[in-house]
Amino acid sequence: MEALSRNFFLYLSKNKSLNKMAKRYGLKFGASKVVGGIDFDCAVPVIKKLNEKGLCTTVDHLGEFVKSMDETRERTLQEIHTIQTIAREKLDSQVSVKLTSLGLDIDYNLVFENMRTILNEAQEHGIFVTIDMEDESRCQATLDIFKGLKAEFSNVGTVIQSYLYRSLDDINDLKELSPNLRLVKGAYKESTEVAYQEKKDVDENLKKMIKNHLLNGNYTAIASHDDQMINFTKQFAKENNISRDLFEFQMLYGMRTQTQLDLVNQGYKMRVYVPYGNDWYGYFMRRLAERPANVAFVLKGIFKS
Ligand code: FDA
């Protein structure tokens, strides 16, 4: 049943006409529970509410795989608008970006220049930018671009996924750059050639990565809704006298909201990933596919939104 539901929502997530329709009609079917707004200005009140509760955020403009140069420049300007709004509204927020929305699939120099423009603006306002990690075929290019940018900017980090066999090596390879890394399990469908398929292997590798990166003395964001990972990090930090200034937890907007608040009350830094934008439909369907329990709140949302 679970597999059926997962496949159904993944199928819906790729439906182009539904995606088009969703763009026209705004956030529907309870999507506002997991998406901040159809544009950044709409997301500002959501972020303010989270900040008031002691939760900091990172914001992600939905939409990837941009195919034209002009569109990537448009996306870059939109990121600049977001950064300026964060600064003007004094939001406690960072920014997350996907390189495919900035030209990764078009031209290496183009994506590099777009990122430089974004990082310059963010640096001026003291805002940190994380480069999200996409599918494995783009992993090496993403890391190469990250390394190049890290040589010029201190306000940039990236993501490492524990389902990839290569990830512990990547952490060791990046060590000398003292990078701020978000560690995740990984969200894409990858082959046995490159990725662990069993949850226990992915979990074990994530624990190893958390240990390594923290012991290297580098800032670590543990982005997981899994109590096992959260408890492991707390225990490991305690046993190794690792300061709470050296790590933070991250979760997606709308997921495990009580646990997010509990972590803040326990004195941990908790960052909420808030997606926004009119390309919300695919993101929303993927969240439903991930967790059938989410479908219940959507059904409620159908009658409210
Ligand atoms: P997982 O899905 O393995 O679930 C383990 C257990 O956690 C469940 O059995 C359940 O007990 C509990 N749980 C999970 N979700 C829950 C919920 N909603 N409510 C209650 N309990 C729940 N991926 C990627 O490839 N590139 C990226 O850049 C990012 N970036 C990113 C940022 C942030 C802030 C987050 C939180 C995640 C990402 N991801 C990502 C996604 C990540 O790789 C992964 O797919 C999801 O977080 C799901 O894995 P989890 O570790 O959360 O738990």
Q: Kindly give the distance from the C-alpha atom of residue 92 to the centroid of ligand 1, in angstroms, as a whole number.
A: 22
Token code pair at residue 217: 């003395």
What pLDDT score was predicted for residue 303?
44
Q: For position 30, what pLDDT does the model report?
A: 65
Q: What is the pLDDT of residue 66?
A: 81
Residues 74 and 5 occupy one common structural domain: no
pLDDT at position 106 over 60: yes
C-alpha 121/C-alpha 108 separation (Å) is: 20
Compute the distance from residue 299 Cα to the ligand 1 centre, in Å. 22
| ipTM for the predicted complex | 0.97
Residues 49 and 153 occupy one common structural domain: yes
Active site residue ranges: 132, 182
Q: Examine the domain organization and report whether 42 and 25 are in the same domain.
A: no
Question: 137 CA distance to ligand 1 centroid (A)?
Answer: 21
CATH code of 177's domain = 3.20.20.220
The answer to whether residues 141 and 264 belong to one domain is: yes
Same-domain pairing of 179 and 123: yes
Range of the domain at 6: 1-35+287-305
Determine the residue of 225, 253, 261 to mutate for testing ligand 1's pocket, defined as the one with the most ligand atoms within 8 A of the Cβ atom: 225
| Per-residue pLDDT tens over the stretch 262-301 | 999 999 999 999 999 988 777 777 777 776 666 665 555 4
Task: Tell me the percentage of the chain whose pLDDT exceeds 70.
Answer: 85
297 with 198, same domain: the answer is no
Provide Rg for the chain, Cα atoms: 19
State the DSSP code for 188: S
pLDDT of res. 63: 81
* Residue 225 labelled as part of a binding site: yes
Number of domains in the chain: 2
Q: What percent of the chain has pLDDT over 90?
A: 76
User: Is residue 281 in a domain?
Assistant: no
> What per-residue confidence (pLDDT) applies to 264?
98
d(CA 255, CA 280): 16
Q: Which whole-number Å values give the CA distances from 185 to 78, 112, 121, 202, 206, in the listed order? A: 29, 26, 30, 6, 7
Q: Do residue 111 and residue 12 come from a single domain?
A: no
pTM of the model: 0.93
**Residues with Cβ within 6 A of ligand 1?**
132-133, 159, 161, 184-188, 223-226, 250-252, 255-256, 273, 291
Cα 157-114-22 angle, rounded to 5 deg: 90
Average pLDDT over residues 121-135: 97
Distance CA 105, CA 107 (A): 6
What is the model's pLDDT at position 152? 97
Q: Residues 302, 247: one domain?
A: no
